[in-house]
Amino acid sequence: MELGLRGKTALVAAASSGLGYAVALRLAAEGARVAICARSEERITRAAERIRRETGASVLPVVADLTRRGDVERFVEAARRELGPVSILVTNTGGPPSGPPLSFSDDDWEAAFQLVFYSALRLIRSVLPDMEERGWGRVVALTSISVKQPIDTLVLSNATRSALTALMKTLSTVYASRGITFNTVAPGPIATSRMEQLIQAAVSREGLSPEEALSRWIGDIPMGRLGKPEELADLVAFLCSERAGFITGATIPVDGGAVKGLF
C-alpha cells in the first residue's frame, strides 16, 4: 500500500532507541524526511546513521531535552530549516518512575508532567503553524495502555498520559476541518529498554526474579508474548499517512489484547 509519505517532513521525539527509533525507521523507509531527537549526542547520531544506512532517507539528528522549552523550539526550528515545513509529528518520551501510588512527591509529579505532557504540548504548538498553512498534518502521540486500563505501580504514567490523551482528543475536534488529524497509540508491554526497567523495578521492589517479573507482565497478554517495536511502528506509519485521512481522535492499543475493556 502506498502511504503517500514520500517527501514529507516528520518529527519523531525520543528516537535514539525503542519505540521512537522504530517509528522513525518506518517513516524513513516510506520516504519521509525525518528529524529525530534525544538527550545523548552519541546515541542520536548513531541512530540517524543506522536509519540513513537502511533506508537512504534524509535524517536529521538533534540533541534535545524535551523537558526544556528552548530545546523543543530548537528541535523544531532545526527540522524546519534543514528538511522543510513539518507535516508529521510523533510525540514520545521515556516513562516516569514506577512505584506505590502515593509514594511520589510534588516534585516527582511536576517532573512527570514536564516529561510526558508539557513536552508534547510544546511540540504540538510549535508545528501546528506549518500544518495549518498547508492544510494537512498528522499528529500521533505515543502513550500507554495505562490510559485505558490504569496500572497500579505506574500512577505517574496513568495520570500524565491520560492528560495528554485528553488534549489530543480535544485538538482532534478543533482541527478536524483543517486537514489535521490527532491520534493516540497506546502500547502495551513491548520489548524495549522501558520494559527492562519495569522488570528490574519489580525485582527490586518485590524481590522477584527477572523471569518471574516478566512472566507477570506476559500473563496479562492473551497473545502470550511481548510486542515488537516494529509492530507499533507499522500502525503509526499508517496513521501518519494519506490513507488515514478519516481517522482522528482515536486511541488505539497495541497490546496483544491486554486491555480488557470494550473501548
**Counting Cβ atoms within 10 Å, is residue 85 exposed (0-12), middle (13-18) or buried (19+)?**
middle
- DSSP, collapsed to helix, strand or coil, labels residue 180 as strand
Domain annotation covers residue 3: no
Task: Name the band, by pLDDT with cuts 50, 70 and 90, for residue 214.
Answer: confident
Half-sphere exposure of 180 (CA within 13 A, CB side): 25
**Which pLDDT score is estimated for 207?**
86
Average pLDDT (139-153) is 96
- Residues 201, 74: one domain? no
Count of helices and strands (H, E) across the chain: 9, 7
Q: Which residue has the cell 523495578?
A: 201
- DSSP, collapsed to helix, strand or coil, labels residue 183 as strand
**Tens-place pLDDT, residues 78-117:** 999 999 999 999 999 989 999 999 999 999 999 999 999 9
- DSSP, collapsed to helix, strand or coil, labels residue 4 as coil
Domain annotation covers residue 253: no
- Residues 202, 98: one domain? no
Alpha carbons 51 and 54: distance in angstroms, whole number: 5
Q: Which residue has the cell 519505540?
A: 19
Q: Contact, 131 vs 137, CB < 8 A?
A: yes
Domain annotation covers residue 251: no
Domain annotation covers residue 257: no
**Which pLDDT score is estimated for 195?**
83
Average pLDDT (9-24) is 98
Reply yes or no on whether the pLDDT at 205 is more than 90: no
Domain residue limits at 67: 9-188+232-245
Domain annotation covers residue 260: no
**Tens-place pLDDT, residues 172-195:** 999 999 999 999 999 999 998 888
- Residues 176, 213: one domain? no
Q: Which residue has the cell 486537514?
A: 179
Domain annotation covers residue 76: yes
Number of domains in the chain: 2
Sheet with 180-187, edge to edge strand ranges: 59-63, 33-38, 9-12, 86-91, 137-142, 180-187, 251-254
Domain annotation covers residue 258: no
- Residues 158, 218: one domain? no
> Any residues with CB less than 8 A from the CB of 228 and at least 6 apart, and which?
190, 191
Average pLDDT (11-17) is 97
Reply yes or no on whether the pLDDT at 133 is more than 90: yes
Reply yes or no on whether the pLDDT at 28 is more than 90: yes
- Residues 150, 164: one domain? yes
